[in-house]
């Protein structure tokens, strides 16, 4: 293996290991030594790629947000609520299955890394809910700004569930579809 290939592999392994630690322990609970131990590299090797913990966290967020943006742009369906449903399900699936996305969102929420992704996602959810409301698709009395909060709570809850150890308790991935149907039944005008 060439030096450049080895360096790229080491960097990727460091980012992935850091994502696992940030996802489980947050920024403050993660040490560079624990990341190094998982990848079996020295602290010097880590600092060759990332000058500090903040730079490593930024790399995790960059990769995680890139994946979230990719799945968000793939959402296209006929009608605002079907498009919202597709968007939320794809984002939640990414958060459930991809440690980089979960770690990225956690680091953003903890305000250790600045990213506009959460704001952009929230604005897209609001845009779709406003479209649904204007078309008469939301239940009377459901305001789009209130519905946005509900959607964000559901997404954050799904992310927290994904972070829990797999002990057989709590909702699993397939259960989210049922939760999401319940949310839509509370929002959609034609669901009553």
Q: Quick: pLDDT tens for 72-103.
A: 887 676 788 889 989 999 999 999 889 999 99
Helix (H, G, I), strand (E, B) or coil at 188: strand
Q: Cα separation of 4 and 14, whole Å?
A: 15
What is the per-residue pLDDT for 7? 86
Report the half-sphere exposure of 64 (CA within 13 A, side-chain side).
33
User: Which DSSP string do the residues of 43-89 spell out, in sequence order?
Assistant: HHHHHHH-SSHHHHHHHHHHHHHHHHHHHHHT---SSHHHHHHHHHH
Q: Map out the domains of the chain as residue ranges.
A: 3-57, 62-191
Burial of residue 38 (CB within 10 Å: 0-12, 13-18, 19+) is: middle
Q: CATH code for 3-57?
A: 1.10.10.60
Q: How far apart are CA 44 and CA 192, in angstroms?
A: 61
Between helix 80-97 and helix 117-134 the angle, nearest 10°, is 150
What is the structure's pLDDT at 167?
A: 54
- In percent, how much of the chain has pLDDT > 90? 56
Q: Which CATH class is domain 62-191?
A: mainly alpha
pTM, 2 dp:
0.83
Write out pLDDT tens, residues 18-56: 999 999 999 999 999 999 999 999 999 999 999 999 999
């Amino acid at each position: 293996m060439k030096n450049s290939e080895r360096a790229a592999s080491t960097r990727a392994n460091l980012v992935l290991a850091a994502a696992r630690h940030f996802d489980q322990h947050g920024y403050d609970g993660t040490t560079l030594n624990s990341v190094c131990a998982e990848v079996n590299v020295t602290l010097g090797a880590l600092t060759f790629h990332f000058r500090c913990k903040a730079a490593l966290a930024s790399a995790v967020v960059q990769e995680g947000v890139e994946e979230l943006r990719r799945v968000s742009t793939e959402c296209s369906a006929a009608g605002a609520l079907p498009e919202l449903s597709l968007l939320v399900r794809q984002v939640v699936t990414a958060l459930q299955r991809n440690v980089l996305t979960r770690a990225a969102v956690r680091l953003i929420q903890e305000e250790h890394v600045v990213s506009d992704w959460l704001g952009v996602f929230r604005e897209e959810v609001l845009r779709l809910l406003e479209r649904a409301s204007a078309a008469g698709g939301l239940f009377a009395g459901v305001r789009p700004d209130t519905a946005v909060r509900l959607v964000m709570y559901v997404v954050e809850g799904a992310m927290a569930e994904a972070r829990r150890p797999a002990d057989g308790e709590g909702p699993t991935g397939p259960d989210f579809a049922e939760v999401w149907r319940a949310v839509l039944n509370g929002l959609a005008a034609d669901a009553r």
